[in-house]
Structure 1
């Protein structure tokens, strides 16, 4: 069974049902039923026209559900007969589905879940496993999201920025269970880039490819985090880096700089350095300046301060950090790192231990705890 084919066909099939008059929630349920049937039937009898088969089965499921619901009898009257089998429309509705799933009335978590289900073609069980929540909890979240967008006109213009934020959230979820959300985000963004010509879509795709290229080197065999400076760069995916850089260069050439292009430029400078010591920190600071002007995001300013510490020395970085709110995520860890760079090991050890208590993930907590233990060992010998 070609799961990738099924997932790639899902948005188009869903779009066809909606354009035929099915409500989004009912259409999405019917498509999921068709996907389940395909998994059961196709290994023994693969269809000649996979998309046409899915449309036919999904439409039948929709009609069956409609006819069994007395409260929706008037709608049934409008949908009297199943369209004759034949070639399905070639129009690509994927882009409209992205916009629908990123509806502004949805919470970010609901928008992500609905995008994974409707555009990504993942099952509720797969999404729940990826988020490490019970399937029933995820089912409720998706059902609420579908109800929210069920009355939205399918042809209304969408907000590309909102869609990109949703895809960025999917990517940042990383990967766990049997669904690799980082890889899924790359696939979805590639799909979006093929549908819309926008430099920020290209910027986000480049950013994802450049970050994802380092995936194999990010963790040690025991699962512990490996900081960027300590990663084995021979394990980086050079093909993905080349692709990401080429996409970024084409986007930057259009002279419509956006947040994701600037972030991708920082990632490209890291990827371009043969060793951590050869990183062009001066250019990275300049790109963070561009990014700060675009977003005025305090996390960007924190990352810029660390880059300043690399470019101009740890004391300059600490001065930049001192101007920021110390409650920012990873602020204490950044201060600890720069104190270590400055040679103040007792203070760095203390701050690493404090940062470990504030760490947002178990992996980060363990990493920071090891950093504190490493320095304390040096101080006690």
Structure 2
């Protein structure tokens, strides 16, 4: 199936496989992924990312907390069984958004807790050698009814999948974004491995792989509409907040001493040239993997292709990512982004300067 539960401050829903709720079913989710996205408070206090009481088949507690000294602690207890994991968190930039993904397979006897910072390419994972299935009735209370659980006020959304969701590099283009190829513009969702795309500097580059992923349209996944004629666009396009635009111009050279820089779309939102798009609860993003992290032309706007850094050197990280099905020996190595990536305050400063 995929995503079976979603809850934010306003609403929520829970739609598991009907077989899990049939009479005689064990009414537990043996395998899946739980995603929590939150801002980390500047207050010196623990934050409850999620906590709920287990009620079946015996009492227990599931909780994820962010500690003030820097760390994420997961505890899952049921009767005499207890599973736990601790992830260190860099104390710098405490106001950043954190995305936690807890994936488990109680049948196979493993789990992992992953911390991602959407404002960077950082991914930290800790493996767990034991795990417990999660009760359907308790999950239903959290996601469908919004009761019997606790979250901090900084938590942006909770999401639940009955699959092991990937972590790491994320696709960032919606299916209809037109990409310039050697045969003219084609929707991103229709481009295939082996197709040739045109880069922003006029090169013809083969597509090594194409990836896609469906995610909740919330928080750092919430789509952004970039409006034409801003950013040299010939039509509006919808992208992920993490999609980075290539920005040139005299302001760039004056402010940063470089010919071009990369700016994440989330820093361009001003309700005029860029704004959050409305749509379904789930969104599917696509992307193109190119040999040298070249920038492609999307409706006339230069956008970076999928950046994977030196991921091919990390077998475990590859296996946990959207690239898991590909031969890692045939993946490219991106030593560094094609252009410098602006820090959040730099990107906001540039965006404000251009909007003035």
More strand, by proportion: 2
Do Structure 1 and Structure 2 share a fold, with TM-score over 0.5?
Answer: no
Q: TM-score range by the shorter chain?
A: under 0.3
Normalised TM-score (structure 2): 0.28
Where relative contact order (Cα < 8 A, 6+ residues apart) is larger, the structure is 2
Normalised TM-score (structure 1): 0.26
